[in-house]
């Protein structure tokens, strides 16, 4: 079985199998923005379940720039011992743990009370839900340089805490993805215009991290195969960015797609075939593999072993699984034992795609909370109920966040 074949990456690390726990936004930080005991328990559960690689949910490089309340932040060494415990929990059973590091840019909830920065003043457009996001301010050269420095500092701290690597989040419409997309980057300076300029932020972050960490510390990039919006970041753009990354010591590329406005990472593929339905971005991955010199990981919809095997047979190096492992952390071990486990959530048939995407994420988070409390998952939870619970939790966490973090200066 290909899925249980070890993978050696360029830095000499061997990952014990081809199954990665893809990043999910857990929002389980403690009051100091460090990993809570429940979050550490959750990662221990995943490690014990047999996945070869665990990629954390968003770890923010700046507590003033959050994808949501309750997020983990690593910007100094004050809570490094908590991060070390997190890494150790995830490394049980021989798993490797990479920290996903991120900045939301314009995709930061407005109720957090912070100033929203982005490459250009292009607001999030989600119909009636747009009111939940603030109008972004265009980043100055100095702020861009500060953000680059923050990504580098967080990567250094991750290595000090004992993580095996970092994954730079350049997908799903977050800050780096905003720079890459011509829909959200209207700049006319060295950070906008040509693809080379739009990719400059990502390339400078990769170079800076690679120079600051040891050669055995993995540096990966999560990249959109496309924005799935007319005039946005295209598959052709993705190919060119990967070609630029080929020379920068990147150990793996994870392909996904979409943003808050076009949540393809939660949606359907371009055609109705079974393989495409359960591995949304496989056709894009095949195209990227023609130019990539590093292993390619594919995330999006994979929940059956037969599909995972087919993806690997198409040349993909690793399969990233999120929802399946949110429901059943022991999925890899069950597959290895020959059990035909196929975890899935109750279907969402709502016409409002952004709202359906929020409900989907709420249903996933519902399972994560269950496991963090050492309880069984409930994949049949009502999307509406999960969303209500999540909104209540977000409101409480947002209030606590505003109390603990001063409003950003103008």
The SS3 assignment for 126 reads: coil
**Angle at CA 242, nearest 5°, toward 289 and 25?**
95
Number of domains present in the structure of the chain: 1
In a domain, 259, yes or no: yes
In the prediction, which pLDDT does 311 show?
93
Of residues 324, 333, 274, the one with CA closest to residue 302? 324
**Gap between the Cα atoms of 279 and 299, Å rounded:** 7
Count of residues in the chain = 410
The SS3 assignment for 204 reads: helix
CATH number of the domain within which 210 lies: 3.20.20.70
**Gap between the Cα atoms of 375 and 369, Å rounded:** 8
Max Cα-Cα span within the chain: 58
The SS3 assignment for 306 reads: helix
**Gap between the Cα atoms of 197 and 219, Å rounded:** 22
The SS3 assignment for 35 reads: strand
What is the pTM assigned to this prediction? Answer: 0.92
In a domain, 365, yes or no: no
In a domain, 265, yes or no: yes
Q: At what angle do helices 200-212 and 235-245 cross, to 10 degrees?
A: 30
Mention every residue, 6+ apart, whose C-beta is less than 8 A from residue 376: 370
**Domain extent at residue 253:** 2-344
Q: Strand (E) positions, 129-284?
A: 137-138, 165-170, 218-224, 252-256
In the prediction, which pLDDT does 275 show?
45
Burial of 187 (0-12, 13-18, 19+ CB in 10 A): middle
**Gap between the Cα atoms of 53 and 20, Å rounded:** 4
In a domain, 350, yes or no: no
In a domain, 154, yes or no: yes
In the prediction, which pLDDT does 366 show?
96
167's tokens: 């994954």
In the prediction, which pLDDT does 409 show?
43
How many Å separate Cα 102 from the centre of its chain? 8
**Gap between the Cα atoms of 210 and 329, Å rounded:** 32
In the prediction, which pLDDT does 408 show?
44
> pLDDT by residue for the chain (410 residues), tens digit each?
899 999 999 999 999 999 999 999 899 999 999 999 999 999 999 999 999 999 999 999 999 999 999 999 999 999 999 999 999 999 999 999 999 999 999 999 999 999 999 999 998 887 877 888 889 999 999 999 999 999 999 999 999 999 999 999 999 899 999 999 999 999 999 999 999 999 999 999 999 999 999 999 999 999 988 666 677 788 899 999 999 999 999 999 999 876 666 554 444 433 333 344 456 678 888 889 999 999 999 988 888 999 999 999 999 999 999 999 999 999 999 999 999 899 999 999 998 888 888 899 999 999 999 999 999 999 999 999 999 999 999 999 999 999 888 644 44
Mention every residue, 6+ apart, whose C-beta is less than 8 A from residue 391: 362
178's tokens: 């905003």
In the prediction, which pLDDT does 262 show?
58
In a domain, 208, yes or no: yes
Mention every residue, 6+ apart, whose C-beta is less than 8 A from residue 5: 17, 18
In a domain, 369, yes or no: no
In a domain, 163, yes or no: yes
Per-residue b/e over 148-172, b at no fewer than 16 CB within 10 Å?
bebbbbbbbbbbebbbbbbbbbbbb
Side-chain-side CA neighbours of 56 within 13 Å: the count stands at 35
């Amino acid at each position: 079985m290909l899925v249980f074949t070890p993978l050696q990456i360029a830095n000499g690390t061997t990952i014990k199998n081809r199954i990665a726990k893809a990043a999910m936004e857990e929002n389980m930080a403690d009051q100091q923005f460090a990993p809570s005991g429940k979050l550490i328990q959750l990662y221990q559960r995943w490690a014990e379940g047999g996945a070869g690689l665990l990629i954390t949910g968003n770890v923010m490089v700046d507590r003033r720039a959050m994808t949501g309340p309750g997020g983990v932040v690593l910007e100094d060494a004050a809570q490094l011992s908590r991060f070390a415990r997190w890494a150790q929990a995830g490394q049980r059973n021989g798993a490797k743990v990479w920290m996903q590091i991120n900045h939301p840019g314009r995709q930061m909830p407005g109720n957090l009370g912070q100033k929203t920065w982005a490459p250009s003043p292009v607001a999030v457009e989600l119909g009636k839900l747009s009111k939940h996001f603030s109008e972004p301010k265009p980043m100055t050269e100095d702020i861009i340089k500060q953000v680059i420095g923050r990504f580098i500092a967080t990567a250094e701290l991750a290595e000090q805490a004992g993580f095996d690597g970092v994954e730079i989040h350049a997908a799903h419409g977050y800050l780096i993805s905003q720079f890459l997309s011509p829909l959200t980057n209207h700049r006319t300076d060295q950070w906008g215009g040509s693809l080379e300029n739009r990719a400059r932020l990502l390339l400078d972050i990769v170079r800076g991290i690679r120079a600051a960490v040891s050669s055995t510390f993995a540096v990966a990039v999560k990249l959109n195969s496309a924005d799935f919006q007319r005039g946005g970041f295209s598959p052709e753009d993705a190919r060119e960015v990967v070609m630029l990354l080929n020379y920068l010591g990147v150990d793996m590329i994870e392909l996904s797609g979409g943003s808050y406005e076009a949540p393809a990472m939660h949606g359907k593929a371009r055609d109705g075939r079974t393989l495409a339905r359960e591995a949304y971005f496989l056709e894009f991955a095949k195209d990227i593999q023609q130019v990539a010199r590093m292993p390619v990981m594919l995330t999006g919809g994979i929940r059956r072993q037969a599909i995972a095997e087919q993806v690997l047979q198409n040349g993909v190096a690793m399969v990233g699984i999120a929802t399946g492992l949110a429901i059943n952390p022991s999925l890899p071990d069950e597959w290895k034992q020959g059990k035909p486990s196929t975890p899935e959530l109750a279907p969402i048939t709502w016409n409002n795609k952004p709202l359906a995407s929020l409900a989907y994420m709420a249903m996933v988070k519902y399972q994560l909370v269950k496991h963090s409390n050492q309880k069984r998952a409930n994949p049949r939870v009502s999307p509406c109920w999960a969303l209500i619970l999540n909104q209540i939790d977000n409101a409480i966490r947002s209030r606590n966040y505003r109390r603990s973090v001063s409003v950003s200066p103008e």
